[in-house]
Amino acid sequence: MKSRTINKLLVANRGEIALRIIRSARVLGIKTVAVYSEADVGAAHVAAADEARLIGPPDPANSYLNLDAIIAAAQTTKADAIHPGYGFLSERPEFARATEAHGMMFVGPPAGVMAALGDKIAARRIAIDSGVPVVPGVGTGDLATARKFAASAGFPVLVKAAAGGGGRGMRVVNDAAGFAAALEAAAREAQAAFGDGRVFLEKYLARPRHIEIQIFGDHHGTIVALGERECSIQRRHQKLIEESPAPGLPSSMRDRMTEAALKLARAAGYRNAGTAEFLVAGDNFYFLEINARLQVEHPVTELRFGCDLVAEQLRIASGERVAEPSAPRGCAIECRINAEDAAHDFRPAIGRVIKLNLPAGPGVRIDTHLGVGAEVSPYYDSLIAKLICYGSDREQARARMGAALGEFSLVGINNTAAFLRDVVASAAFARGDLSTRFLEENFPHWTAAGDDLNAALIAAALIAGGILDGARPVVGSVTPNGARNDAGGACMRTPWTELAGFELWGRR
């Protein structure tokens, strides 16, 4: 492929990931275009970009999922490339095709690769053909076949959606009597979530670890891997804490999983950033899926390898060769802070930021789009901040994380920081005794400690009494034609690359 220059990049996303991409583009001298819904007029990513375009009303279907509106915004602003971030349209092959069809670069894998890997049944076939182990299963949701499989494999079994993930279209079946209802419910949910009601079956693994390998491929056929990430601490199949390296993982298994990830990437003709995910049970590992995009948890890899994965994505999209990664060092842990009430079954929370204190210090990075006056609406994902801590070893990273979570303070929106602090401080986490059932086994009914509860009650009383009136400051805005009317720098924090003296990976 002939190299092409990216002069202007449209970021087809919002929130912290949009800011994250804009920051890397700025370092590379690339102009940026933000898109925003009517709910995000005053959002930080809008203020941070060089230009911004309104693409629709608050509901995602008519804004951030509106492919035509995003392509039109890119054409109007004469963008050379589009970065989809994660979520929304990031794994939609039709978006990649439309971007390329209009003469722009798509910062991600080719549409054909995305389509093949996005279908979990097809991805299983690629893994099997490549000699990569998969969880025993059958690629159909036919009731008769399902019953026959369960009779041979034994209960419980897992019904999964073929076209998506995130726990949607997924059901555990414990006996033959529940099969028909589980298949029907999973197919119905999958159809509603992904527009594809196909399901398939796998043997249910009761207490596995969830471990993934970061991969990168270029247009020249080179594929590299950048270590593993432990992602076992989950709630309803959604990751909450990730770290690298995976604690206690034997080096022989790490090597075998890495080679399996590289085999899969080569077989699929992979390009740009991706993640091969595996389940580990005892001495065995099994292929789960490949996520054909940048992951939420990519910062832990960046801190261990001293790199900028977004910058590398942009380089590869331009036709450059993938850089050989440096040797990893230390340990990094990420906690996802969500706008949820952890004491009440993680009920979603909305509101406006009245006061905010973000942690800092050696080895501490926080990726967030929040500032005083920012609003968390009911329209989008509950992720409001990612706190990432680096240490020379796991215990130092864990200690820094505990201190940083204690320093994090947000008045106005219920959030999970206190819950995560208790998880990180627990004996089980310190031992590295991790599995996908970690929270069920160790935190089945979490309640806030006295200090946290008292602080929340005092804050609520102050707000109600008008002492914290929360007058909304302007963090940045745009004129109707998309021009910025401020300097856009106030919402930007110290570049995270400064925290450990790391250079950007791929810089020559």
CB 213, CB 257: distance < 8 Å: yes
Place of tokens 């230390």: 330
Task: State the Cα–Cα distance between residues 132 and 267, nearest whole angstrom.
Answer: 11
Strand bridging mode 137-138 / 51-56? unpaired
Instruction: Report d(CA 344, CA 340) in Å as an integer.
Output: 9
**What's at 186, amino acid-wise?**
A
Candidates 153, 14, 163, 177; CA nearest to 84 is 14
| Among 53, 124, 293, 304, the one annotated catalytic | 293
> Is the CB of residue 468 less than 8 Å from the CB of residue 459?
yes
Distance between start and end Cα atoms, the chain? 21
124 is catalytic: no
* Among 210, 373, 231, 374, CA closest to 297: 231
| CA atoms within 13 Å, Cβ hemisphere of 115 | 8
* Tokens standing for residue 369: 């789009």
List, in sequence order, every beta strand (DSSP E) within 236-326: 238-244, 272-281, 284-291
Cα–Cα distance measured from residue 299 to residue 244, given in angstroms and rounded to the nearest whole number: 10
Both tokens assigned to 143? 């009731």
3-state SS assignment for residue 92: coil
Residue 334 host element (H or E): strand 331-338
- List the structure tokens of 308: 């900028």
Helix 111-118 to helix 93-101 angle (10° resolution) is: 170
- The answer, yes or no, to whether the previous bond of 378 is cis (omega within 30 of 0) is no
* Length of the chain measured in residues: 508
Q: Please answer whether residues 2 and 9 qualify as being in contact, where contact means their C-beta atoms are separated by less than 8 angstroms.
A: no
Q: Strands 8-11 and 31-37: what pairing?
A: parallel
SS3 4: coil
The catalytic residues are: 293
